[in-house]
Amino acid sequence: MAEEVSRIGARSASRWKVRWITRRNRILGSPAFQKWSSRVWPMSMIARWKARWAFDLVAGFTYSQTLLACVESDLLALLSQGPVVLTEIAEHTGLSDAAALRLVRAAAAIELAQEVAPNQWMLGQQGAALHTNEGALAMVRHNRVLYRDLAEPLDLLRADRGKPTALSQFWHYAAEGDGEAASEYSQLMAQSQAMVCEQVLAAYDFSQHRSLLDVGGGHGRFAAGVVNAHPGLRIGILDLPPVLDGTSAWLGNQGLSERISLHPGDFFHSPLPSEYDCISLVRILHDHDDDEAVKLLTAIRKALPPGGRLLIAEPMADTRGAKGMGDAYFGLYLWAMNSGRPRSAEEIMAMLSAAGFSRSRQVKTHQPLVCSLIVSFL
């Protein structure tokens, strides 16, 4: 952590900027200005939008928990068969009629459900998009571990980093080699991998390579996605031995054992295989503090042959249109996990340069909220 803080450079903001922001904030905080602007068009439109956003910040947890209740009770699946009536909802969710009505109305208010006629319920627009997204649904369930730690956010931030948290225990058991825990977390990662893989495949042409090593490749969903799209590519996965036990079983079920090689190992303590001309790090770098991250990038640079490339795919901080995803969601998630931080593309590219890569560039993805992509050259 110390290295993260020591990397922050200090530069004075210009005096006009500080003066302007001070004045702006004084105006925005003034009850008289808020009252005036809410009555005068077009300020009233901005005022309503800002007020709604402020309310969402205050109430966000109730929205998340409404979603969790819809997912856990299988309400979204029921609504997808709709229209359904309240008694069906109550029966399906195991709730009383009154509780089921409270839940479905809450869901309708945040577009998870929709009342299409009196007492006729279907999926709403957000419900429709989420209901088919297995990865997002897995994360909705998993977030309860994070929310346990965030129930007292200042306690979490004040505690020494390294003190066990619900989330750090979840990851720790897996990393320590407990096969069952490794399997639980690898499955969570596997469930949410499809949306990441789709983004990377759409953004990057793997056919320019002969081989790909997916470092920290977990249960192999990314490797399988790439090999299915590019059958000529020779593919390997490197991960911890207990994780690769699950990978081997899954690849066997998919008939992919012959096409994907497994390299059991610890990427911090054993040299990486050097027979691949492309290496990928998918949702790996942000898990590690700065010194470790540079160490891993350096090890990869050494393993790549001349002309080799490194791909880094993960959600990044400072993403336009999705800033909350970076420093708010993943910032606190990785704090609770006791390791790593979300980094902006610029910060990652600076690290790549420190690790000896000659140049890097960001490649656009369709949904940067799911992942951004950096390609780095030796």
Ligand X SMILES: CC(C)=CCC/C(C)=C/CC/C(C)=C/C=C/C(C)=C/C=C/C=C(C)/C=C/C=C(C)/C=C/C=C(C)/C=C/CC(C)(C)O
Shortest distance in whole angstroms from residue 302 CB to ligand SAM:
16
- In sequence order, which residues have a C-beta less than 8 Å from that of residue 214 and are 6 or more positions away? 220, 222, 223, 226, 235, 236, 237, 238, 279, 280, 282
Residue 360's binding partner out of ligand SAM, ligand X, none, with CB under 5 to 8 Å set by partner kind: none
d(CA 114, CA 125): 8
Residues 278, 283, 286, 290, CA torsion sign: negative
Shortest distance in whole angstroms from residue 3 CB to ligand SAM:
18
Shortest distance in whole angstroms from residue 104 CB to ligand X:
20
Site residues for ligand X per CB under 6 A: 129, 133, 136, 139, 192, 283, 286-287, 333, 337, 367
Shortest distance in whole angstroms from residue 276 CB to ligand X:
22
Q: Quick one: which of 284, 312, 325, 336 contacts ligand SAM (CB under 6 A)? A: 284
With CB under 6 A as the rule, give the number of residues binding ligand SAM.
19
Joined together, the tokens standing for residue 179 give 């096969």
Shortest distance in whole angstroms from residue 243 CB to ligand X:
13
Q: At what angle do helices 193-203 and 179-191 cross, to 10 degrees?
A: 50
Which string of x and - marks every residue 333-372 that binds ligand SAM (by CB under 6 A)? ----------------------------------------
**C-beta of 124 vs 217, nearer to ligand SAM:** 217
State how far Cα 333 lies from the chain centre. Answer: 9
Q: Tell me which residue has its CB nearest to ligand SAM.
A: 216
Pick out residues in 163-202 that bind ligand SAM (CB under 6 A). 175, 186, 189, 193, 196
Residue 244 CB-density burial (10 A; 0-12 exposed, 13-18 middle, 19+ buried): buried
d(CA 89, CA 179): 38
Joined together, the tokens standing for residue 165 give 């948290």
Q: At what angle do helices 134-150 and 193-203 cross, to 10 degrees?
A: 120
**C-beta of 100 vs 213, nearer to ligand SAM:** 213
Residues in contact with ligand SAM by the rule CB under 6 A: 175, 186, 189, 193, 196, 216-218, 222, 239-240, 243, 266-268, 282-284, 287
